[in-house]
């Protein structure tokens, strides 16, 4: 049975640590602004030492990153952990964490995306504890949170036995240019959101336990001691799985190769449905498109909805690994109901 962390409440303490990349000095303002905003919402924020530095594409050496994350996981006064953002090398800390020890600790919310999904998937599949894929801490520096981003407090504040309903966005941000030029000002939504079916169907509905993240880094786990997906689905997801996946700067061929490898590693054998996020930096491979990859891997038997609100082209829904969920897709729009059961 999936274990859920205690519901996050106002007055609770959150910790910010960087198990992947830290924050360069000229962007420290993002952390300060986010801390101010989150504390204004009624929470206490504790910042770790790792977030303030960045060398060789990491916040610190792997031992230091693993130690700080472990300390925050075992600190009973900390109710949630939210990294500043993702990065490149979160996988380095996995061998340096005592996962048998982590399994003895009470479940705790970890929220993030990009390379943080490496940590999330391993944490959930090894311990059976739910984790949350969604906004990172630095994105909370916006003066006002958009409707989807703001859901993080409700998702982490949901109690066992309750449910949370989320909807697709009206518009999304097609480029990070303005955001990078104007840090801590939020997202710039400029394109109409349209969820799509890989077979062209106008409607789908499917249910199962959520699992997923960014394919670029999850692929690294396959064949390692930290790939416990099949064990998790056998022990905790007898109802089947809803996979949610996205990619960054990948071609259609790279997406296909990754999905093919996941399929033949058994990850999709219990898939009831698939959500694919809007691809960031995507390019076709000659006349081979992402739709071709989806048909080749999933056929027409498994419903696949793509261009969903997941990942690096914000806004994004906050998806809980392990939560029993129902996805409803109708005429380009989507609803996700997550039940903490």
Residues with active-site annotation: 114, 246, 312
CA distance 152 to 157: 8
Q: How would you label 131-163 residue by residue, b for 16+ Cβ within 10 Å and e otherwise?
A: bbbbbbbbbbbbeebbebbbbbbebbbbeeeee
HEC string for the chain: CCECCCCCCCCCEEEECCCCCCCCHHHHHHHHHHHHHHHHCCCEEEECHHHHCCECCECCCHHHHHHHHHHHHHCCCEEEECCCCCCCCHHHHHHHCCHHHHCCCCCCEEEECCCHHHHHHHHHHHHCECEEECCCCHHHHCCCCCCCHHHHHHHHCCCCCCEEEEECCCEECCCCHHHHHCCCCCCCCCEECCCEECCCCCEEEEEEEEEEEEHHHHHHHCCCCCCCHHHHHHHHCCCCEEEEEECECCEHHHHHHHHHHHHHCCCCCCEEEEEEECCECCECECCECHHHHHHHHHCCCCCEEEEECCCCCCCCCCEEECCEEEEEEECCEEEEEEECC
């Amino acid at each position: 049975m999936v274990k859920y962390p205690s519901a996050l409440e106002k007055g609770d303490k959150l910790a910010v640590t960087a198990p992947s990349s830290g924050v360069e000095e000229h962007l420290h303002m993002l952390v300060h602004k986010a801390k101010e905003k989150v504390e204004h919402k009624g929470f206490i924020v504790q910042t770790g030492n790792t977030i303030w530095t960045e060398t060789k594409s990491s916040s610190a050496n792997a031992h230091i990153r693993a130690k700080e994350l472990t300390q925050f996981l075992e600190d009973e006064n900390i109710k949630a952990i939210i990294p500043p953002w993702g990065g490149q090398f979160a996988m380095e800390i996995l061998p340096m964490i005592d996962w048998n020890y982590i399994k003895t600790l009470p479940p705790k919310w970890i929220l993030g995306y990009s390379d943080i999904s490496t940590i999330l998937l391993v944490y959930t599949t090894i311990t059976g504890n739910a984790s949350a894929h969604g906004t990172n801490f630095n994105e909370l520096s916006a003066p006002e949170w958009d409707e989807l981003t703001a859901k993080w407090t409700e998702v982490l504040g949901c109690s066992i036995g309750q449910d949370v309903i989320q909807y697709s966005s009206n518009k999304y941000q097609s480029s990070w240019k303005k955001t990078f030029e104007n840090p801590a000002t939020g997202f710039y939504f400029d394109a109409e959101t349209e969820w799509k079916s890989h077979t062209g169907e106008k409607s789908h509905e499917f249910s199962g336990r959520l699992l997923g993240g960014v394919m670029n880094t999850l692929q690294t786990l396959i064949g390692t001691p930290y790939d416990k997906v099949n064990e998790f689905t056998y022990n905790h997801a007898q109802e089947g799985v809803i996979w949610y996946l996205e990619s960054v700067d990948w071609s259609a061929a790279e997406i296909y190769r990754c999905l093919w490898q996941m399929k033949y590693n058994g990850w999709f054998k219990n898939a009831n449905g698939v959500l694919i996020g809007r691809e960031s930096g995507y390019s076709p491979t000659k006349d081979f498109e992402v739709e071709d990859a989806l048909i080749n891997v999933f056929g027409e038997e498994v419903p696949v909805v793509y261009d969903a609100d997941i990942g690096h082209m914000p806004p994004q829904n906050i998806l809980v690994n392990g939560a029993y969920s129902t996805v409803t897709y109708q005429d380009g729009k989507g609803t996700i109901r997550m039940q903490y059961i």
